[in-house]
Amino acid sequence: MAADKQRKHPLASSFKFGFEGIVEAAAKERNVRIHLAISVFVIVSGFIFSINKYEWIAIILSIGGMISMEMMNTAIERTVDMYTKEYHPLAKQAKDIAAGAVLVFAMSSVLIGLIIFLPRIFAWFN
């Protein structure tokens, strides 16, 4: 019965909602804007250093994953804040764990970037 009452949206609406979420995150979330700026720098660097298609795949997955993780972290924080403004240890854990997931992905992305770009940077200066 509950499933019958769920509202169904056309596929186009799902894409519209998704793009609205991306725009909202980019407009209001400092960390998303920072990741987008770094992404532009990394993409430009990829062209400058002529990285290969497998390195592009790693870069694209890193960028997409990082921005997605940041947006999920924001969604979790907003959901927790919607339910409680008071300190609660479980609310803190939820927010901290989500932030930790972002940090893990960020560190992995930095390592991928270093593996791809450091040899090229060293070769450029030698």
What amino acid positions are annotated as catalytic residues?
A: 70
* 96 annotated to bind ligand: yes
* 86 annotated to bind ligand: yes
Q: Transcribe the chain into DSSP letters.
A: -HHHHSPP--HHHHHHHHHHHHHHHHHH-HHHHHHHHHHHHHHHHHHHTT--HHHHHHHHHHHHHHHHHHHHHHHHHHHHHHH-SS--HHHHHHHHHHHHHHHHHHHHHHHHHHHHHHHHHHHHH-
* 77 annotated to bind ligand: yes
* 81 annotated to bind ligand: no
Give the residue ranges of the annotated binding site for a divalent metal cation: 29, 77
Give the residue ranges of the annotated binding site: 29, 70, 77, 86-88, 95-96
Give the residue ranges of the annotated binding site for ATP: 29, 77, 86-88, 95-96
Give the residue ranges of the annotated binding site for substrate: 70
